[in-house]
C-alpha cells in the first residue's frame, strides 16, 4: 500500500472557540472521505493530522513538530488571527504551503504575505466593506464598536469605520472604540460603556463564545433596544445554535457562508452530504475547511506532484465553484475573492435557531480592496 499524504490541520479545539474547531474538523473529514473515495492524491490516501492551535507560541511548536516528525508539507486551518500571524512568516523556512480557512487578519495577505500562504475565506476588510454598504444608507449617524481586544477587533472597526465614512460622509464614528478582553466571562462593563456612549448604532466584531456571552448579557441589559446593532460574525451557526431562541430578532448579522444560499446544485449536495454525515447544518467554518482541502487536492491533481512551487503556480488564479458560490484565489496576494452574505435574524418553524431573512449578498469584486491598496 502506498504511504499516505499527510496534511497538517490547526484549529481551535479547546477554549471559547472550540465549537469552530469542531465544525472545521467535520468539514475536513467530509472532504477527506470524498477525496479518498475518488482514489486519493497521486494514488495515495490522504491522512489528516489535526492539532489544537491554543496560542501563537504553542502553534509554532506544533507546526514545527508536524514538519519534523510527520513530514508534513501541506497545512490547512487556523481560527485565530494571532496564530495565523505567527505561522505565516515561518512558511518559507519550513517549506510548507498553508491554506488559511478562517483567520481574517489582513496582514497575512498584506505585509506578512509570502508565496506559501493562501486564504480561501473572506477576510476582515471584505466583510467590513459589505457591512458598511448595508449600513451607509440607514438613518443612524453616530457609531461605536464593541469587539475583542486584539488585532481582529481593531482591524474590523478600522475598516468598517473607514468604509462607512467614505460611503456616507454624514456618518460619525466615535474615536477609540470599546474592546473587551477575549474570553472574559463578564462583559457587562464593556456593554454598559457602549450603551452610555451615546452611539445610535454599534458594530460588533466579537465572535465564538465571547459573542454568545455578549448577546445574552446585552439582552439582559437592554443593549439591543438602545442601539441598532450590526454583528460582523453574528450569523455563524456556532453562535446561532448555541443561542437558539435567545438570539434577538431583527439584528443585522454577517457570515462567511450561509447554508441556505446560494441555491445551486453544488451547495445543495454539500448541505445534504453534511447532514447525512453529522445530522446538522454546515457552518461557515465547516464549509471553509471543506473548500480549502478540496482546493489543495485540486492543485495536486492538476500539478501531478507535491512539489510546492508547482502547487503555488496552479493555485494562483484558481477559480472553483464552492458551496458558497464561485470564487477565485487572487494571484497578487492569494486572497479569495467571493461573495459575502448578510441578513436579518428571524425565527423559522423548520429550524431550532434564527435564520437570515431577508438576505443581502455583496459581489466579491465589489467588496474586495485591490491588492496594491493598503488602508492602514
131-152 pLDDT per residue, tens = 999 999 999 999 999 999 998 9
CA angle 288, 15, 47 (to 5 degrees): 45
| Domain coverage including residue 170 | 125-255+340-367
Same domain membership, residue 157 and residue 134: yes
- State the CATH number of the domain containing residue 282: 3.40.50.2300
Q: How far apart are CA 41 and CA 38, in angstroms?
A: 9
- 57 & 174 share domain: no
94 and 235 together in one domain: no
Give 22-63 pLDDT, tens digit per residue: 999 999 999 999 999 999 999 999 999 999 999 999 999 999
Q: Are residues 351 and 278 located together in one domain of the fold? A: no
Q: Is residue 268 part of a domain?
A: yes
- Kindly report the average pLDDT of the chain as a whole number: 96
Q: Report the pLDDT value the prediction gives residue 376, as an integer from 0 to 100.
A: 43
**Could you tell me if residue 373 is inside a domain?**
no
Residue 375 resides in a domain:
no
What are the pLDDT digits (tens) for 207-217?
Answer: 999 999 999 99
Assess whether 224 and 310 both reside in one domain.
Answer: no
CA 349 to chain centre: 28
Within-domain flag for 247? yes
- In terms of DSSP bridges, do strands 340-346 and 252-255 run parallel, antiparallel, or are they unpaired? antiparallel
349 and 207, same domain (yes or no): yes
- Section 244-251 average pLDDT: 97
Quick check: 374 pLDDT over 70?
Answer: no
Q: What is the pLDDT of residues 266-321, one digit of tens each?
A: 999 999 999 999 999 999 999 999 999 999 999 999 999 999 999 999 999 999 99
Rg of the chain, C-alpha, whole Å: 20
Q: Is the pLDDT of residue 356 over 50?
A: yes
The verdict on 115 and 29 lying in the same domain is yes
Residue 374 lies in a domain: no
Residues 229 and 269 in one domain: no
Q: Quick one: 39 and 113 in the same domain? A: yes
pLDDT of residue 36: 98
User: What is the arithmetic mean of pLDDT over 207-234?
Assistant: 96
In Å, how far are 50, 80, 105, 188 from 17, measured between CA atoms? Answer: 16, 9, 16, 20
Residue 2 confidence (pLDDT): 73
pLDDT of residue 195: 97
The answer to the question of residue 372 being in a domain is no
Q: Which residue has the cell 510546492?
A: 308
Residues 6+ apart with CB under 8 A from 212: 239, 242, 243
Helix (H) or strand (E) holding 126: helix 124-135
Q: Give the count of domains, the chain.
A: 2
Complete DSSP assignment for 230-245: EETTTT-HHHHHHHGG
Same domain for 250 and 278, yes or no, is no
Please say whether the beta carbons of 322 and 271 come within 8 A.
Answer: no
What pLDDT is attached to residue 1? 53
13 within domain boundaries? yes
Kindly state whether residue 376 falls inside one of the protein's structural domains.
Answer: no
In terms of domains, do 235 and 361 share one? yes
Q: What pTM was estimated for this model as a whole?
A: 0.96
Do 145 and 292 reside in the same domain of the chain?
Answer: no
For residue 25, give every residue at least 6 positions away whose Cβ sits within 8 Å of its Cβ, in sequence order, or none: 9, 11, 13, 50, 289
Amino acid at each position: 500500500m502506498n504511504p499516505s499524504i499527510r496534511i497538517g490541520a490547526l484549529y481551535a479545539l479547546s477554549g471559547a472557540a472550540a465549537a469552530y474547531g469542531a465544525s472545521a474538523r467535520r468539514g475536513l473529514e467530509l472532504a477527506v472521505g470524498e477525496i479518498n473515495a475518488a482514489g486519493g492524491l497521486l494514488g495515495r490516501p490522504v491522512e489528516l493530522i489535526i492539532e489544537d492551535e491554543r496560542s501563537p507560541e504553542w502553534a509554532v511548536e506544533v507546526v514545527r513538530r508536524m514538519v519534523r516528525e510527520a513530514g508534513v508539507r501541506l497545512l490547512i486551518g487556523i481560527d485565530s488571527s494571532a496564530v495565523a500571524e505567527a505561522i505565516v512568516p515561518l512558511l518559507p523556512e519550513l517549506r510548507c504551503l498553508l491554506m488559511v480557512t478562517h483567520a481574517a487578519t489582513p496582514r497575512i495577505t498584506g505585509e506578512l504575505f509570502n508565496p506559501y500562504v493562501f486564504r480561501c475565506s473572506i477576510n476582515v476588510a471584505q466583510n467590513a466593506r459589505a457591512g458598511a454598504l448595508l449600513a451607509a444608507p440607514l438613518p443612524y449617524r453616530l457609531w461605536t464598536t464593541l469587539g475583542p481586544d486584539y488585532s481582529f477587533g481593531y482591524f474590523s472597526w478600522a475598516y468598517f469605520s473607514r468604509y462607512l465614512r467614505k460611503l456616507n460622509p454624514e456618518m460619525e464614528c466615535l474615536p477609540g472604540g470599546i474592546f473587551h478582553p477575549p474570553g472574559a466571562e463578564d462583559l457587562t462593563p464593556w456593554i454598559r460603556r457602549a450603551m452610555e456612549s451615546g452611539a445610535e448604532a454599534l458594530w460588533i466584531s466579537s465572535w465564538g463564545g465571547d459573542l454568545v456571552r455578549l448577546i445574552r448579557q446585552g439582552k439582559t441589559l437592554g443593549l439591543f433596544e438602545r442601539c441598532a446593532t450590526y454583528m460582523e460574525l453574528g450569523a455563524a451557526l456556532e453562535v446561532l445554535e448555541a443561542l437558539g431562541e435567545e438570539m434577538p430578532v431583527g439584528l443585522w448579522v454577517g457570515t462567511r457562508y450561509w447554508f441556505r444560499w446560494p441555491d445551486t446544485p453544488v451547495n445543495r449536495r454539500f448541505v445534504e452530504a453534511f447532514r447525512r454525515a453529522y445530522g446538522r447544518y454546515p457552518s461557515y467554518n465547516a464549509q471553509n475547511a471543506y473548500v480549502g482541502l478540496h482546493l489543495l487536492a485540486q492543485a495536486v491533481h492538476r500539478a501531478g506532484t507535491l512539489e510546492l512551487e508547482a502547487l503555488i503556480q496552479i493555485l494562483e488564479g484558481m477559480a472553483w465553484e464552492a458551496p458558497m458560490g464561485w470564487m477565485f484565489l487572487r494571484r497578487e496576494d492569494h486572497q479569495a475573492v467571493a461573495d459575502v452574505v448578510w441578513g436579518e435574524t428571524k425565527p423559522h418553524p423548520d429550524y431550532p435557531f434564527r435564520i437570515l431573512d431577508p438576505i443581502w449578498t455583496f459581489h466579491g469584486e465589489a467588496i474586495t480592496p485591490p491588492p496594491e491598496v493598503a488602508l492602514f
